[in-house]
């Protein structure tokens, strides 16, 4: 046992001292946060500016199209045709595009043109389309004698409050969308970690075997002890990196929350979405900006309230358990493959059977997330080769304690059985050189006593 400890320490210290480990540990949470924040920030701030010359042969939209901060509509003082407008746009740098509205737009919306010399952004095109659609709709309603205000008043938004009822009758609020995000994100992380650190085990075994250093090591320790030490050592590296990522991510999230709350701070920080909507209906038009700020604050607070509903201690514990269990199963198989070959190119024929279950579980996670209580979801969360990903997808939705306990027990049994089989291949293959290994040969190694 002391020899396994020495191997674990060697594997752990060798990897955590690498510059790549330190850099990725620091940059990982930052890159992950940037992946979500930067696109949203760019979408909010990167708006296209456009000056559009409008030729309206229908005379319905003159001076009716509303400008924005970035999009400006210009109506010629004299009546000109489309061809003249095109020439004016080309000759002058004042206009970026010409919008042509034909005279029969009330009966047919086909034939509306946007002519440009520089491609306008998608936001510009969508704004023009939405503006025309809304104005045409209002014209048609007015022509039919239908009051637009009546239609607007009839529009209703429904938001369900979901509540989970457990076996003893206790109620707890839930948020399906947030559960889907957390479940899928956890499954993706486990999928990535198993592959990342499992392949490290295989490459480490191949490197030691090809450098013949393994012959010296085997003279001091048993092959099984060497395999277990390598697997556990790299597992501790993965756990260290994950825990550091968790701490740094929690710090970033807390800082972001504080900044958001400070930005949307108002006199009454407890305003709810319902209260803000009620205020929006009663306040005068000139106070719309204040109402918008209040709604933004309420929306942000609602998001953080939903996050607080999630049982993060259970999710964190389950993540660590299923990451370790899944990693130990697959890394044992990766180690067996590494011991059976002389170079990484020869691993391809043996990698497919190993990777099929984990790839299958990753693909099925998208199905399970739509129906986490189905029989298929249950069985996939019990099979040791698929449970690390599938059970992590299900846990945010709420899983009975007995199902979670059974799944964990089966995962432990699966790890013990897989490690025993992998050890039988490892002890023979680690000292085998210069021979192309087949599945028939591996079967013989499994039967050796």
Strand partners, 162: 174
Q: Tell whether the model's pLDDT for residue 273 goes beyond 50.
A: no
Q: Tell whether the model's pLDDT for residue 178 goes beyond 80.
A: no
Instruction: Kindly state the average pLDDT of the residues 127-149.
Output: 80
Output 64 or 362, whichever has higher pLDDT. 362
Q: Are 34 and 250 in contact (CB under 8 A)?
A: no
Looking at residue 412, its pLDDT comes to 92
Query: Each residue of 395-425: pLDDT tens digit?
Result: 888 888 889 999 999 999 998 898 888 888 8
Q: Are 229 and 3 in contact (CB under 8 A)?
A: yes
Using a 10 angstrom Cβ sphere, with 0-12 exposed, 13-18 middle and 19 or more buried, the burial of residue 126 is exposed
Nearest CA-CA partner of 115 in 135, 89, 148:
89
Tokens representing 357 are: 């279950």
Query: Each residue of 64-95: pLDDT tens digit?
Result: 777 777 788 888 877 777 788 777 777 777 78
Using a 10 angstrom Cβ sphere, with 0-12 exposed, 13-18 middle and 19 or more buried, the burial of residue 366 is exposed
Looking at residue 410, its pLDDT comes to 95
Q: Tell whether the model's pLDDT for residue 296 goes beyond 70.
A: no
R_g (Cα) of the chain, nearest Å: 31
Tokens representing 390 are: 């599938």
Instruction: Kindly state the average pLDDT of the residues 412-441.
Output: 81
Q: What is the mean pLDDT of the chain?
A: 75
Helix 348-368 and helix 176-210: axis angle, to 10°? Answer: 170
Only one residue has tokens 């990725």, namely: 24
Output 267 or 172, whichever has higher pLDDT. 172
Domains and CATH numbers, the chain: 50-145 (3.40.190.10), 176-254+310-447 (no CATH)
Nearest CA-CA partner of 389 in 326, 311, 329, 333:
326
Query: Each residue of 105-125: pLDDT tens digit?
Result: 777 777 788 888 777 777 778
Distances (CA, A) of 190 to 14, 198, 338, 385: 23, 11, 22, 12
Distance of CA 180 to the CA centre of its chain: 10
Q: Tell whether the model's pLDDT for residue 295 goes beyond 50.
A: no
Only one residue has tokens 């942000």, namely: 300
Classify strands 71-74 and 97-101 as parallel, antiparallel or unpaired. Answer: unpaired
Using 50, 70 and 90 to split pLDDT, how confident is the model at 253? low
161 Cβ contact partners less than 8 Å away, ≥ 6 residues apart: 173
Q: Are 131 and 65 in contact (CB under 8 A)?
A: yes
Longest dimension (CA), the chain: 99
In the three-class reduction of DSSP (H, G, I as helix; E, B as strand; rest coil), residue 101 is classed as: strand
The alpha carbon torsion through 83, 86, 90, 93 (nearest 10 deg) reads 140
Nearest CA-CA partner of 419 in 294, 289, 346, 324:
324
In which region does residue 114 sit, left (phi positive, over 0), alpha (psi from -120 to 50) or beta (all else)?
beta
Instruction: Kindly state the average pLDDT of the residues 180-199.
Output: 84
Distances (CA, A) of 302 to 262, 297, 307: 15, 9, 9
């Amino acid at each position: 046992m002391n020899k396994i400890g020495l191997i674990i320490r060697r594997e752990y210290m060798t990897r955590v001292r690498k510059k790549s480990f330190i850099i990725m540990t620091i940059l990982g949470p930052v890159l992950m946060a940037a992946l979500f924040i930067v696109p949203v920030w760019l979408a909010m701030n990167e708006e296209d500016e456009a000056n559009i010359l409008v030729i309206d042969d229908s005379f319905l939209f003159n001076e009716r199209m509303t400008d924005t901060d970035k999009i400006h509509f210009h109506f010629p003082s004299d009546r000109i045709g489309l061809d003249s407008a095109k020439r004016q746009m080309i000759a002058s740098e004042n206009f970026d595009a010409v919008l042509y509205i034909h005279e029969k737009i009330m009966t047919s919306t086909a034939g509306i043109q946007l002519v440009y010399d520089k491609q306008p952004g998608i936001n510009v095109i969508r704004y023009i389309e939405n503006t025309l659609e809304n104005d045409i709709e209002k014209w048609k309603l007015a022509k039919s004698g239908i009051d637009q205000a009546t239609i607007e008043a009839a529009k209703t938004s429904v938001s369900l409050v979901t509540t989970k009822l457990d076996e003893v009758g206790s109620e707890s609020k839930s948020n399906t969308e947030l559960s889907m995000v957390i479940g899928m994100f956890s499954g993706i992380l486990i999928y990535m970690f198993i592959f990342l650190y499992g392949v490290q085990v295989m490459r480490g075994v191949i490197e030691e075997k090809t450098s013949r250093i393994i012959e010296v090591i085997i003279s001091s320790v048993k092959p099984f002890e060497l395999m277990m030490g390598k697997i556990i050592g790299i597992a501790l590296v993965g756990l260290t990196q994950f825990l550091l990522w968790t701490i740094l991510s929690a710090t970033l999230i807390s800082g972001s929350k504080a900044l958001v709350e400070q930005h949307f701070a108002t006199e009454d920080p407890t305003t709810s979405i319902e209260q803000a909507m009620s205020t929006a209906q009663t306040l005068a038009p000139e106070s719309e900006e204040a109402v918008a700020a209040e709604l933004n604050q309420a929306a942000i607070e609602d998001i953080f309230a939903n996050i607080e509903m999630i049982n993060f201690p259970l999710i964190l514990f389950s993540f660590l358990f299923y990451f370790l269990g899944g990693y130990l199963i697959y890394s044992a198989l990766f180690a067996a493959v590494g011991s059976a070959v002389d170079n990484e190119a020869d691993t391809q024929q043996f990698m497919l059977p190993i990777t099929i279950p984990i790839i299958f579980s990753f693909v099925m996670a998208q199905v399970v997330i739509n129906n986490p209580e189905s029989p298929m979801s249950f069985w996939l969360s019990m099979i040791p080769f698929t449970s690390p990903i599938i059970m992590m997808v299900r846990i945010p939705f709420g899983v009975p304690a007995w199902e979670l306990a059974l799944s964990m027990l089966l995962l432990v049994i699966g790890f013990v059985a897989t490690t025993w089989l992998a050890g039988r291949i490892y002890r023979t293959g680690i000292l085998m050189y210069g021979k192309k290994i087949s599945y028939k040969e591996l079967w013989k190694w499994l039967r050796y006593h």
